[in-house]
Amino acid sequence: MSINNPLRQRIVVKYIMTGLSKDEVTDYLSSRIRVAGSKEDVFTPPAVDAIYGISSGVPRVINSLATNSLLYACGKKQHQVDEEVVYQAQSEMNL
């Protein structure tokens, strides 16, 4: 008997969650920026494409990558996050 069998016996519902779509990632980032108080789009469309591609739509990865991208852009005194910033943030995160 495997050690995991008791655990499997207790799991009633099994669900595999897929990542967000590209449009959902765009809306998600825009929504988060608006809640933070910005009235402008901070992430350029190529930056959103890069975040989507790197994260595969997984919200936890999107959040981490977006946060690190914002910090990197701030350090460069940029008002927008572009694709280059996203890839720089990715390399620093070892994704």
Residue 48 lies in a domain: yes
Residue 22 and residue 39: Cα distance in Å, rounded?
21
| CB atoms closer than 10 angstroms to residue 39 | 6
Q: What's the confidence (pLDDT) of residue 8?
A: 78
**How far apart, in whole angstroms, are the C-alpha atoms of residue 3 and residue 56?**
32
Number of domains in the chain: 1
Does residue 83 lie in a domain region? yes
Which of 75, 80, 67 has its CA nearest to residue 90?
67
CATH of residue 53: 1.10.8.60
Contact 86, 70 (CB under 8 A): no
Domain membership of residue 12 (yes or no) is no
Q: Report residue 58 as tokens.
A: 């997984």
- Residue 55 in contact with residue 25, Cβ under 8 Å? yes
| pLDDT tens digits, 80-89 | 999 999 999 9
In this model, does residue 13 exceed pLDDT 90? no
Task: Please give the Cα distance from 87 to 65 (Å, whole number).
Answer: 9
Judge whether 67 lies within some domain.
Answer: yes
pLDDT for position 1 = 52
Per residue in 26-68, pLDDT tens?
A: 999 999 999 999 999 999 999 999 999 999 999 999 999 999 9
Looking at the domain assignment, is residue 5 inside a domain?
no
> Tell me, what's the pLDDT at 7?
76
Whether 56 is in a domain gets the answer yes
Instruction: Name the pLDDT band for 3 (thresholds 50, 70, 90).
Output: low
Structural domain containing residue 51: 19-93
